[in-house]
Amino acid sequence: WNPDIEAFVAEALKPAVLKDIQLKESEKRIKITCTEDQLSLAIGKRGQNARLASRLIGWQIDIDGEKVETLTFDDQVADAVTAIAALPGISQELAQNLVNGGFHSANDLKQIESGDLDGIPGLEEHTDAIIAAAQGDNAPEATEEKATLETEDQTVSADEDESTEETATAEESSPEEPTVTAVSEAEETPPVDDEEQAVPEGEKEPAIEENPEDSKD
């Protein structure tokens, strides 16, 4: 026994796998949904499982089977033909022949090598086209990526050209700076020492006359 009604019902109806359990406490009613392949397991032989669980909890149990959509063989063939016909260079008729020949997907076509289709009516003469279509399955995506890269390269090149042009214009418009000539120490006028300040020739210093009175002393 389990006080949790949902857990108790799920345990009581094992080994069936229940998909959904809905409780209506006001009516003491339980609605159970499971797939069709689990319906007979949930109900049990002659409804024994459902009746026993209902008596134990005192609630009415309704079990419904959910219909599962399954693809028929014809549906699967049609889907395979549509998928292969979507490849570049593959017609609807050629796709049908490929599916009839056991090739049901693009991955199957990628395994085809030259000579594999020899002797197969409707396929032998299209071997090259089939191999090319299988190898080019991702060609549109690759082409788009290549175009994007080329566009980015062109954009970068245009930016570089514009930057170069602006630099050249700036150089032409800027005024020339005045040239500063450095004067080396050798070219500077050397200082003249006091001792080397000679009196020019032809100019003599005036003689100092002695005072006669000084000579008598």
Running DSSP on this structure, what letter comes out for residue 105? Answer: S
Candidates 3.20.20.70, 3.30.300.20, 3.30.1360.70, 3.40.50.880; CATH matching 5-66 = 3.30.300.20
Tens place of pLDDT per residue across the chain (217 aa): 567 888 888 888 888 888 888 888 888 898 989 888 888 888 888 888 888 888 888 888 888 887 766 778 888 888 889 999 998 888 999 988 888 888 888 888 888 887 888 878 888 888 888 888 888 744 333 334 444 445 555 554 545 555 555 544 444 544 444 433 334 344 444 444 444 444 444 444 444 454 545 444 4
pLDDT of residue 153: 52
Contact between 84 and 99 (Cβ < 8 Å): yes
Residue 70 tokens, joined: 């399954």
Q: How far does Cα 166 stand from its chain's mean position? A: 35
| Residue entry with tokens 């397991």 | 41
- pTM score above 0.85: no
Contact between 32 and 20 (Cβ < 8 Å): yes
User: Of the candidates 46, 47, 38, which has an alpha carbon nearest to the alpha carbon of residue 18?
Assistant: 38
DSSP labels, 40-91: HHHH-GGGHHHHHHHHHHT-EEEEEEEPPP---HHHHHHHHHHHHHTSTT--
Amino acid at 32: I
Measured in degrees and rounded to the nearest 5, phi and psi for residue 82 equal -65, -40
DSSP labels, 148-206: HHHHHHHHHHHHHHHHHHHHHHHHHHSPPPPP-PPPPTTTSPPPPPSTT-PPPTT--PP
pLDDT of residue 56: 84
Q: Domain spans of the chain?
A: 5-66, 73-135
| Tens-digit pLDDT profile for residues 52-89 | 888 888 888 888 887 766 778 888 888 889 999 998 88
Give burial (CB, 10 Å; 0-12/13-18/19+) of 84: buried
| Tens-digit pLDDT profile for residues 143-152 | 344 444 455 5
pLDDT of residue 35: 86
Please give the C-alpha separations between residue 3 and each of 34, 42, 49, 57, 109, in angstroms, as whole numbers.
23, 21, 19, 9, 58
CATH architecture of 73-135: Orthogonal Bundle (1.10)
